[in-house]
Amino acid sequence: MIKPWTVEQQADFGQKLAACRRAVLFLDYDGTLAPLVPDRHNARPFPGVREALERLLVIKHCRTVLVSGRPVKELQPLLQSRLPFEAWGSHGGEHLRVSGQLDLVSIPEKAREGLRIAAERVAVLLGDHAIECKPNSVAAHVSSINAELIPQYIIDLEELLEPIAENFGLELLDFHEGVEVRVPGINKSRAIHSVLSEEPKDAVVAYIGDDVTDEDAFRALGEQSYTILIGREKRSSAARWLLPEKSDGLHIVEFLNATASALS
């Protein structure tokens, strides 16, 4: 059962970090480092996030990794980080290394064709502005639609995309105010397994996210890691702790700064 992330829990986490020789911190972007907004291209980080993140990026024995559903090319313009960072985008379909090298996962031609058809059908229903095409998925966003109409549009999207997913071997996933069709097996757990395969077994590991797409990562990490869900209410989750969100973003800024201080 998920437990609240308290001051005492933060202190315990800080003690583990202060004593460790290696730490790995995974951070979701939308809903975690930045607020959820109707225009996803304007999702700037909460005030203080960039500075706190940069504190972590200079700590040599901490590997800080962004894990996002977004294509990685969107993260730097939003974050405006003065330091290079590692990121996995498109739910694990892209890997941006600190060096700037970008690795893309290859997908079958049949799946690629299914994604193309899905994008065309969504464009007819919602318009091009609502489509987010990624290397391994197509996301349909309904956040800019009248809030009263969103539930019906979600149903319409599911009915539209379900047969395409079945015919082309894709999977359908609901997320915050949207529906996504994607290639199976390429999700945030892929980033987790890849990163941790390069790290010592005794590394202190934490993952912070807010969305259903983060559940793959929570499950991949299990009980030995600090898996933290951000939210205002408890919901069914594989995460171990719930960090209550605040509209001004202080919850994540305080967490990042406390983490950086414990590691310094």
pLDDT for 121-149, tens place per residue? Answer: 999 999 988 888 888 899 998 887 887 88
Amino acid occupying residue 111: A
- Give CA–CA dist 84/82, Å, rounded: 7
Q: Where do the structural domains in the chain lie, given as residue ranges? A: 3-105+188-263, 109-182
The Cα angle at residue 223 between residues 187 and 190, in degrees rounded to 5: 15
pLDDT for 222-258, tens place per residue? Answer: 888 999 999 877 788 999 999 999 888 889 999 999 9
Amino acid occupying residue 168: F
Tokens of 126: 């919602």
pTM: 0.87
Task: Return the percentage of the chain with pLDDT > 70, whole number.
Answer: 100
The pairing of beta strand 3-4 with beta strand 241-244 = parallel
pLDDT for the residue 143: 81
Instruction: Select 3-105+188-263's CATH number: 3.30.200.190, 3.30.460.80, 3.40.50.1000, 3.40.50.150.
Output: 3.40.50.1000
- Give CA–CA dist 178/153, Å, rounded: 9
Give the architecture (CATH level 2) of 109-182.
2-Layer Sandwich (3.30)
pLDDT for 28-83, tens place per residue? Answer: 999 999 998 888 889 999 999 999 999 999 999 999 999 999 999 999 999 999 99
Q: CB of 242 within 8 A of CB of 207?
A: no
